[in-house]
């Protein structure tokens, strides 16, 4: 699948808007051929690796929000091409205004039919990385409408740092919803995304998604990147310590975040 390597050059307005808003919507980032090729491979990997076995009614709010299957690229050589793809990484680097990015990890986030909402949160709460220059690419593998669980952003919220020390939960939803209202951040939700469109958001951008009220799975693949040169930060919660072990292979605080799972892309 060679076409993935074609570079996308963003215009200044797009990168400037990303810096101001903390998110960007890039249409047609993956072509229809690329989606046709990679979607079944990602679906197979999710089927094989998805760790969720509980019934919907037995899960908490986080568990109801999506099936979270992580680092597919380690398990599947073809998904590896997708996750390590330079076209996606180059868009991430251009938006962040850095020359090189490293991979943090990938994850498929599949919101089941009838799946719950994703509470307001900031990703950086989970990451022991000594930088604000982190970004997630969020790409639907099928066409999606808002009611299927469209990602929604609080514009400019990334500029205010880590707002609350809260994991994804009913508590984060309540506290951060109040914060968004109080700060009057403009809230943005795309009205439609087609397979291969992608949003990018900063690790500190507040975001959420409604539940999936449709009868089909919201299939989304995500890739998380950070600026090359970032160091490992002392973990501030248990999640960050787990991440340090899992995605940074236990690298010590203050060392370069550059394990074999974090190649420069
Ligand atoms: O897919 C979702 O519902 C939430 C995604 C998300 O929070 C993320 O990719 O950072």
Instruction: Compute the average pLDDT of residues 153-182.
Output: 94
pLDDT reading at 1 higher than 60: no
Among 151, 149, 173, residue whose Cα is nearest residue 163: 173
For the record, the structure tokens of 142 come out as 């099928």
> Per-residue pLDDT for 6 more than 90?
no
Predicted TM-score (pTM) of this structure: 0.96
d(CA 253, CA 234): 5
What is the fold of 8-231? Jelly Rolls (2.60.120)
- Predicted local confidence at residue 3, as pLDDT: 52
107 CA from centroid of ligand 1 (Å): 10
Q: According to the model, what pLDDT value does residue 164 have?
A: 84
For ligand 1, the distance from its centroid to the CA atom of residue 169, given in whole angstroms, is 13
Q: Is the pLDDT of residue 4 over 70?
A: no
For the chain, percent of residues with pLDDT exceeding 70: 98
CB burial readout 136-169, b (16+ within 10 A) else e: bbbbbbbebebebbbbbbbbbbbeeeebeebebe
61: closest CA among 201, 167, 195, 181? 167
Domain positions in the chain are 8-231
pLDDT single digits (tens) 149-159: 999 999 999 99
Distance 219 CA to ligand 1 centre (A): 12
Q: What is the DSSP letter of 204?
A: T
Work out the average pLDDT over 107-111. Answer: 98
- Give me 136's structure tokens: 């997630």
pLDDT for position 258? 98
Q: How far apart are CA 134 and CA 103, in angstroms?
A: 10
Residue 109, ligand 1, Cβ within 6 A: yes
Distance CA 145, CA 92 (A): 24
């Amino acid at each position: 699948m060679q076409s993935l390597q074609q570079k996308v050059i963003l215009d200044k307005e797009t990168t400037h808007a990303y810096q101001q808003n903390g998110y960007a919507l890039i249409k047609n980032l993956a072509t229809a051929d690329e989606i046709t090729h990679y979607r079944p491979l990602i679906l197979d990997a999710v089927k094989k690796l998805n760790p969720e076995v509980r019934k919907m009614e037995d899960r908490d709010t986080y568990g109801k929000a999506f099936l979270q299957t992580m680092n597919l690229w380690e398990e599947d050589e073809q998904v590896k091409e997708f996750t390590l793809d330079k076209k996606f990484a180059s868009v991430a680097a251009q938006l962040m205004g850095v020359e090189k990015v490293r991979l943090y990890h990938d994850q498929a986030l599949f919101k089941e039919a009838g799946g719950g909402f994703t509470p307001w949160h900031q990703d950086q709460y989970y990451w022991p990385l000594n930088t604000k220059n982190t970004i997630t690419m969020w790409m639907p593998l099928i066409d999606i409408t808002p009611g299927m669980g469209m990602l929604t952003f609080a514009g400019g919220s990334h500029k205010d740092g880590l707002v609350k020390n809260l994991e994804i939960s009913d508590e984060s939803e309540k506290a951060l919803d109040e914060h968004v209202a109080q700060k009057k951040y403009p809230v943005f939700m795309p009205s439609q995304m087609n397979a291969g469109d992608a949003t990018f958001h900063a690790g500190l951008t507040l975001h959420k998604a409604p539940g999936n009220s449709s009868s089909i799975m919201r299939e989304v693949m995500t890739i998380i990147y950070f600026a090359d040169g970032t160091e490992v930060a002392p973990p501030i919660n248990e999640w960050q310590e787990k991440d340090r072990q899992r995605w940074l292979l236990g690298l010590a605080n203050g060392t370069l975040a550059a394990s074999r799972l974090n190649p420069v892309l």
